Structures are given as C-alpha cells and as structure tokens.
Structure 1
Amino acid sequence: MTSLPRSLGRIAAFTDGLTAATYLARRNLARNGLRSTLAILGIIIGVFAIATLGILGSVIQLTAADALGGLGDQIIVSPNADAGVDRLTDRDVTTITRVVGDDASVIPVVTGGALVERGDARTFAALYAVERPRELFTAETGELPERHRRGAIVGSGVAAELGVEVGRTISIEGREYRVVAVLAESDGFNLLQPDGAVLIPRSAFADESYTQVIVRAESGSGAAAAADAIRASLNAREERVSVLELSRIVERIDQFFGLLNAFLIAIGAVSLIVAGVSILNVMLMSVSERRGEIGVLRAVGIQREDILRTVLVEAGLLGFVGGVVGATISGLVALGIFLAVPEVTLPVVVNLRTAGYLVFAVVFGVVISLASGLYPAWQAANERPVQALRVK
C-alpha cells in the first residue's frame, strides 16, 4: 500500500519540476528574443517544407488515383497481331464470357473512325460499337438504350463541334443517324475516349468483328483471376490474344508516386535538420552566456536533472512553436491548392493523410529541436559550480 503514495508523490514532483522548468525556459528564451525568433523561423521553414512537400505529393498521388478511377478492376483483351490475329470473333467473346463467369461483365467493342457531318459543320471522330453502352458511359442528355440497335450516341466534344442535340441527325459516310443521346463529358481516364467519339450500331460497320473486349470484374483480384482464365482458354495452343491487366499499371503508377512522395519528404527533412543545427547553435550560446547563473543555481542546491530539464524544455518550446506555425501555414497552402486548382477535389486535400503529414512534421520538428538541445543541456547539467562561478 505504501508504493502508491510514493508513486503519486514522484508524479507530483515531476509535474512541479516540469512546470518550473517551463517557466524558466520561457524566461530565458524571452531574454534573447531576436535569437529565439530566428531559431523558431528556421523550424517554421523546415516544418513548412516537409509538410507542404508531403501534402503536394499526396495530392498528386490521390488526384492520379481519382483520374484512373476504377481501372484496377478491368482488363483488355486484344487480338495478337504477332500471331496473325487482327480481330476477335463472336466465338472468342462467347469463350471469354464463359470462362469469367458471372463475377465479371464482358463488353466487346468494335472501333473505327470516320468524318462526321451536320450541315456545313464536320469533324473527324472515333467510331465505337458497344452493344450495352450503359455499362461504360453516362448520358448528359437523352437516354442510353439497353442495347444499341439504332441511332447514334454522340460524345460531348463532337456534339459541341457540330452543334447537335438529341433528336437531330448527323451523317457518317453518307448514312444518316438520328442522335438518341449525348454523352456526359469525361472527367477522368477512360479506356474509350467518349468525348471525341460517336457510338453507332455494330451492323453499321463493314467488318463487324471485334477489335477488343473489355472485362470488368468486381475487384482487382477478380480481374487477375479472369485474366488467367482467359489466357488459359484462348492461348492454350497459341497466343491468339494479348491480355492487359490494368491493375498492374495502376499499381506501378501508385508505386511511382509513393517514391516521389518519399523523395519530397526527404528534401523537406533536410531543411528541418539544417534548422536543428541553428537551434544547436542558439542553445550552445545561451548555455555559454548563462554559465555564471547555472553555477549559482548548482551552488544553492539545484540538481543536475533540473538544469537538464530546463535546457531541454527551451529547445522543445522552440521546436513546438515553430512546428505549429509551420504546420498551420502548410495547411493554409493545402487549402489554397484546392481553391486554385479545379482538378483537385476537397477530399484529396482534407483527409487523414494530410493530417498525418502535418502532425508528423510538427513531431519531427520537436524531435529535431530536442536532439539539438541534448548536448547543450548535458553540458550545462555537468558544469561544475566552482568553474561556473569563476565565469560569474
């Protein structure tokens, strides 16, 4: 039962010592206001650099991830030209549908290109035949059919160039098509670029065989399993098709931005370490100037631990104040990026990762400051009272 009161007494003594050390540290820093301000400014710059560079790298990484969208769960099956295969047949599509099962959707596509006209206006557009356009696209005006059998579906860019609306007609290679829908503008990376394209029925193509098949799975692992099944089925005897797993591309892009982010943080850390050297210099000069005062304190019974604690608190205060100010400025810069760059969304800027960079920068700044003040604190604590009083 006696151990608890002793522990509480030690905690109370430590708290009182820390309070006294904080008071003395603030007083000592205020004595040399200009020197302390310059040291804090160095920490502000270092923390601002490491937090801002980290946030910028995160914004770039997350913006790229948003642009890539859900490509990680998609694969592209194309004919292997090296094997003499230039088109995919209905039988190939049936085989792909069978091997992937109900866990993925199969979207065969016929592609081409032609001059699209309306009156005197004309533009060259990509032509796509997608039997079920709702699986890939969204309509801005009009309604996408369940199965595309007639009429044309026009991309937003083509519609703007030709000035067409739903219900109007366009001409493609001498054939008239009534516009049944206008696609919404694409806001990210898409396997098929719909803005500059026109979707027409498959029967309108001279060659109705498919140029590629898009397979959309429920997850990245599902896409990988579907890709293996397609290779095992269609490439059993010869490599008739090439299978591109977009999840691997997305992973490599994410890895690249992760390395870029780490590199940017390392650059910021260098500037913070330089600021730590400045704090080391400030604390050494402060201890040197106060040798007489330290000698008096030691002579009247102040313990080494108290001296050590006071000097370390001084360094910690410099790091904490500079860290908080630097992180605040960095947070304002992050919000400025959101306001200035339309492509950057608010969730990309305001998230746990951004908060983590701000907290990390402040903590790192305090740690560097404490590390810089460790040697001066040790030097002051181990100063012999007699030698210190001679300076006095």
Structure 2
Amino acid sequence: MNRYFYYNIVLVSLLNLMLFVPYLLIQHRYEGSIMSMACAAIVGSILALLFTHVMKTYPGKGLPEILTLFFPKFLAVPFMLGCAFMWLTAASIVLYTYSVLINRFFNPDTSSIIVLTFMACVCLYGATRSMFTVIVVMEVILVVCTPFILFVLFKAVRSPLLDWDAIRTVAHYWNRLPKVKPFASSLFVFTGYMNFFMFNRLNSPNFRIRFRWFIPVFGSLILITSFFVPIGFHGTDGSADYLYIWSVTSDSLVMSYGFIERVIFVFLLLYLMLSLMFATIGWHLAMELVKSCLPQPKKPVDPAKTPRSNWVIVCVFVVMTITYAYTFNEKQNLEITSYWIVLRACVEIASVLFLFALSLAGSGKRKRLET
C-alpha cells in the first residue's frame, strides 16, 4: 500500500498547476511568496510525518473509526461533517474551474455549465464505486498521465524561451516575510496525504510508510517549478496578468513530435483526467464521511453491489456543484477559492495535530493494557 499513499501525494502536487495556487503565489512574488513556500515545505513535511504516526497507530481504521474510539457520536458527527465539507468543496472547485478552462480553450461556443454537467456525471459514477475500486483507478490514471506531465515540465525548464534573469530578479525577494495566502497556497501542494484519513481502512496491521523523504523533495520541486517557470516565460510583471497561468505557459511550448505541436491541448487533456480523478476521490471521501454519520450498520470496504445511499449522497453533491456554478461567476470563484485555501490550511493543521494527540493517547492506552 506504500505506492497508493504516494499516489495521493503526486496527484495533489501535480494538480496545483491548473488551480489558483501558482496565480496566488505570483500575485505575492514581491511580498513573501518564496519564504512562504519554504515555510510550507517544512510545515507540510512535518504534518505528513505526524500523519503517518496516526496511520501506524490505527491500522485499518478511517477517520470515523478513530473518532468513535474516543468520543460519542454526537461529538464526532460535527467534526466528520466539517471534513466532508472540505473534501466536497475541494472537488467542486476543481470541477468548476476546469469546466471554465475547457470551455475557454477547447470550445468557447459551449456553455461551461454543460461541460460541468458532463464532468460531474463522470465523477458521480466514479465516486459511488467502492473505495478499493477508486484507489485502483487512481493508480491507472497516474501511471498514464504522470510521465507525460513530468516530460512537459522538463521541456519547460529546458526551453530556450525561459528568461533566467526574470527568475533571478524575483528570487532576490527571498528575504521577505511569509504571508498567509501564499503560505496556505503552498501548503496545498503537500496535502495529498490527507486522503488517507479514509483510505487507511485498506491498510493491513503491519503497514509501514517508507521513503518519506519523497514528500518534501517532490512537493518542493513541483512548487518551485509551478512558481518560477511562468515568471521565466512571461516576465516578472507580465506573469501576474494571467489567471490560468499554466494554461498560457503550456501554450508557449512547441514540440515536433508527429502531430503534436501545441502542447496546451495535450496538457489540458492530461489535466482533465487528473481533475476528474481528484473530484472523484473528493466526492467519494465526503460520501464515506456522510455515511459514517448515518445510523446504519458498517458496510464492507469493497461491497459486491453499490449501496443506494452512495447514489443519493453523490447526486446531492452534483446538484450543489452545479448550483454553485450558476450562482458565482469566475471572479467570485477566485475570491472564494483564495479564502477557502486559507481555511483549508487551518483545518488541515488543526486536524492533523488533533488526531496526532489522539494517537499518542491511544498508544499510551495500549501500552498500559499490555503491561
């Protein structure tokens, strides 16, 4: 199961390129983004290490099972619903943002709501599958997409169009104090481990996380690339003019490989699969948390037949996402997302520290029972 843990790390790290993380960092490029990225790498790595201790303490248990060991259900339910809301909003924001991207770069004549509806239907079917099915599908998609995305990033770094003087100019502002928004945005890159609060149900009792050095190394490399490469292509001031900065950056690349010339089309198709996978996982985890709040017997991790409650809960998520797209425009979505990223960072830090404290209490209780 080690590889599934790191698949989540890779998925979330790569996905930040097509969200507002690079945009928010570039907006604060003179005001502490570099120091914020450094602090986020340290904090994110520490949180990941603390989280692996939680998984080791409670093998085979998800967040609901851990909470029920310490608290009555009426206290555990609000916490689980809050976590479900965070995963739900993350998936919905990604779907809405990417539907606008597809509408803008592929087919401007089609309404983004129609594109969002089709994407939501795909995620509806995927999110209702069993947890084991979801994690296996994630493996297939990442094995297919990740090499191509890393190749595109490598070509961008090696491109002769990259202006290293612009990168060095921004790098001179490394000593500015970190700010909340760029710190929270940077921290998002390291948060793939959060998915295992539920996927831990699939782990065996002897499960151990190895190669934990991969988390800070890979996350930092992706974070540095997503921040500095657009600045090198569009300049220190011009890079702040684009909302979907990596879409424009990928359109600056040209490849001479058969019929592939404009990189943006390949790049967007690859990220379409990653976005659908991320939204599927987010809705699936939110669905599992909501089901854990209901008075029903515990279901197997990989049931032979999809429960009807899965369809009902995820259909509600679809309706909420489409309603959100109808209610808010693109500018409002950017503002909401910037505040949501800060809220998510606070919730993540508090949740990991809280569950780490519970794991210490659980370890002490088990040692006293053994003696």
Higher Rg: 1
Q: Which protein has the bigger strand share?
A: 1
TM over 0.5, shorter chain: no
Instruction: Place the TM-score, normalised by the shorter chain, in its bin.
Output: under 0.3
Structure ranking higher on relative contact order (CA contacts 8 Å, 6+ apart): 2
Q: Which protein has the bigger helix share?
A: 2
Q: Structure 1 length normalisation: TM-score?
A: 0.23
Q: Structure 2 length normalisation: TM-score?
A: 0.23
